Amino acid sequence: MGIIKNKNIQILAVDDSLEMLELLRRSLSAYGYNVLTVTNVIGAIKILESTKIDLVITDLQMPQINGLELIKHVRENYKSTGILVITGYPSIKNAVETVKLGANEYLIKSFTRLELVAAVESAIQVAESRDQEKTIKPTKTRISGIIGDSESMNKVYQKMVKASSLKTTILLNGETGTGKELVARAIHYNSKEKSAPFIAVNCGGIPETLLESELFGYLKGSFTGANETRGGFFHAADGGTIFLDEIHNTSPAMQAKLLRVLQEKEINMIGSNKAQKIDLRIIAAANVDLYKLVEKGAFREDLYYRLNIIPILIPPLRERKGDIGLLVNFFSNKYASELGVKKPFYTDRLMDALNSYDWPGNVRELENIIQRLVVLNDGTRIDVTELPQMMRYSVSKHGNLNKTLKQVEIDHLQLILASTGGNKTKAAEILGIDRKTLREKLKDIDAKDSMI
């Protein structure tokens, strides 16, 4: 890490320990920062009122007015000022509270000079990103593999651009099939780390007994079957980006390990007592509301706030109907090119049907439908009659309110299976269930049909 040339960055250090203030002043001055020090919150507020401060470094435990009060004051009065918390009394409660109030980084005493400088740089970067109000005007065509020009997608693009400029934690939230992995890849490949690895991990698709070894790697002989030392996904992604999909499916024990990775920026291979430093961007994703899981006690609150540094909500397709035409055009060109056939022509009635459908499987479901239409295209115009029955208008469908909830579920299952051409794996992904659950539901349908 080289000496920072910029001498204009002002840091205010607040701690009731004169020894700690002197340590902070000497350490940061050596890296080119201007450091002001003060022993209490009242003194800090006076300096903030008269001097432009880029970063406040504050202890939590101080007499009279504590550091939490200072964090709240800074966040509500100085938007562009970063906040780094240092404490010798770490606790989950304090960590969660400081992040809630707006702290950018949390550092535990005793720390090394390099750890301090890294935390300072990270806190300043995040604060600067909040202060920059960039206007992004995405085109009406493909942007890094993502299609759309609706207002809701423009908001996503703005956050993606900001996120790609920072090597910090990102949390993607959206329904199954909205394209969370595509967004994660776009963020990575639009960043300065684009030449480094992008590693995607489906946390819900790896058995809990194997997830730790897959993520962190293991030493030879650390368990039965460990015949060689092998690195994990975190090793493979070092320097680049790791994408942790379906993070809500991880166990409490794994959540604790991931929290340590985020806090300490280091990992432990199975069978090793030696921690290894890592330098990468972590992007997590969930198709459920993580905060609701936190409220139910089903997901760690401290991990949630560590992940939620830059949140990006990806809208469902039903909220971006203006993008359906663009998506249909893109997928039609894609599959026509792959199959070596002419691009189909769709009637207005078919496009009206696509635009009026609610798309429970989102973009993934639309892609499957278009792929099927291109495959079945015989060179003539494709009309609405080529769509699955449940996507067409039906008097009985709109007028019959006597169906049981079970029958509605059966109808929807059959619709999704039809849209995927009978592919059960794709159907399960669209429905947001696993293949085992889908098989059980299909057995119920078959059993009911056999009794008719």
DSSP string, 164-222: HTS-S-EEEE--TTS-HHHHHHHHHHTSTTTTS-EEEEETTTS-HHHHHHHHH-B-TTS
183 Cβ contact list (under 8 Å, min separation 6): 146, 156, 160, 172, 312, 314
Confidence at residue 433, expressed as pLDDT on a 0 to 100 scale: 80
Confidence at residue 259, expressed as pLDDT on a 0 to 100 scale: 93
Domain spans, the chain: 10-131, 151-315, 318-451
Confidence at residue 398, expressed as pLDDT on a 0 to 100 scale: 47
Angle, helices 348-356 vs 324-339, to 10°: value is 120
CB-count burial class (<10 Å; 0-12, 13-18, 19+) for 69: middle
This prediction has a pTM of 0.64
Tokens coding 248 = 């809500």
Q: Which 3 state secondary structure label does DSSP give 106?
A: strand
Confidence at residue 196, expressed as pLDDT on a 0 to 100 scale: 93
Q: Which 3 state secondary structure label does DSSP give 408?
A: helix
| CATH number belonging to the domain at 10-131, selected among 3.40.50.720, 3.40.190.10, 3.40.50.2300, 4.10.1240.10 | 3.40.50.2300
Taking the domain 318-451, which CATH number applies?
1.10.8.60
Taking the domain 151-315, which CATH number applies?
3.40.50.300
pLDDT tens, residue order, the chain (452 aa): 444 445 588 999 999 889 999 999 999 988 889 999 999 999 999 999 888 999 999 988 888 888 888 888 888 888 788 898 887 765 555 566 666 667 777 777 778 888 888 888 888 877 776 555 443 344 443 455 688 888 889 889 888 988 888 888 999 999 988 999 999 999 999 899 999 999 999 998 898 889 999 999 999 888 888 888 899 999 999 999 999 999 999 999 999 999 999 988 899 999 988 889 999 999 999 999 999 999 999 999 999 999 999 999 999 999 998 899 999 999 999 999 898 888 888 988 899 889 888 898 899 999 999 999 999 887 778 888 888 877 775 444 544 555 677 777 777 777 777 667 677 887 887 877 877 788 887 776 665 544 43
* Ranges of H-type helices in 198-323: 208-216, 233-237, 252-264, 290-295, 301-307
Contact 169, 306 (CB under 8 A): yes
CB atoms within 10 A of CB 374: 22
Contact 164, 138 (CB under 8 A): no
- Judge whether 151-315 and 318-451 match in fold: no
Q: Which 3 state secondary structure label does DSSP give 299?
A: coil
Q: How far apart are CA 234 and CA 240, in angstroms?
A: 10
Confidence at residue 294, expressed as pLDDT on a 0 to 100 scale: 92
